[in-house]
Amino acid sequence: MKKSLILASKSPRRVRLLEKLKINFEIFPSNINENKKLNLLPIDFAQYWAKKKAIEVGKHKPKNLIFAADTIVAYEDNILGKPKDKNDSYRMLELLSGRTHKVITCMVFFNKEKNIFESSYKETFVTVNKLNQNDIRNYINKNNTLDKAGAYGIQGFFSVHITNINGCYYNVMGLPLSLFYEEYKKVKSLIN
């Protein structure tokens, strides 16, 4: 019996996006603590965490193909991960207001048994219109901002504040589907 792909994440958005592709997969979150302070550029930062997640799950599932990803929001070189609290959400949304920022998703495919490690990333540029204090407070009070990098979800109400997207929309949700699928096909051919 073929081993299914292991998604090293419990992100409901990644689960929904993977389901679109009709790929057989199981969920096995890495549960690593991502609170460690790192002095890295945004792409290196996201790649570090994607790799850590894949390796951690690979310890438990060495025969499976592990897929891990990390999505961050970056304005200039300021990395905005998941907010700690509502005040942190406010700070992030105020920073993004009226500006263009990058959303970066780093992806890792890892199979410990066959010594496969493939890493890639996607950047998308997102422009947010100018938000006033009420816009920010209302959004924070009516939406869960704590489980999303940059304190917003593009697939929900916050979309009314997005004036431009340059790049992959699904990347902003946490999984660039086209890049994922190309990488997945390539890695699957190495395993079979």
- Tens-digit pLDDT profile for residues 136-184: 999 999 999 998 999 999 999 999 999 999 999 999 999 999 999 999 9
Pairing of the two strands 25-27 and 5-7? parallel
**Alpha-carbon span 58 to 8, nearest angstrom:** 9
Residues with Cβ < 8 Å from 108, sequence gap 6 or more?
A: 47, 50, 51, 53, 54, 66, 67, 68, 69, 117, 118, 119
| DSSP class per residue in 113-154 | TTTEEEEEEEEEEEEE----HHHHHHHHHHS--TTSGGG--T
* pTM reported for the whole predicted model: 0.91
Selecting among 70, 85, 88, 135, the annotated active-site residue is 70
Q: Which of 68, 104, 77, 89 is nearest to 150 (CA)?
A: 89
**pLDDT computed for residue 31 by the predictor:** 86
**Alpha-carbon span 27 to 79, nearest angstrom:** 27
Place of tokens 């699904």: 170
For 37, 131, 149, 167, the CA distances from 40, given in Å and listed in that order, are 9, 29, 17, 23
Task: Please report which confidence band the pLDDT of residue 3 belongs to, taking 50, 70 and 90 as the band edges.
Answer: low
> Catalytic annotation on 147?
no
- Tens-digit pLDDT profile for residues 69-120: 999 999 998 999 889 999 999 999 999 999 999 999 999 999 998 999 999 9
Please give the helix or strand (H or E) that residue 67 lies within, else none.
strand 66-75
Pairing of the two strands 100-111 and 116-128? antiparallel
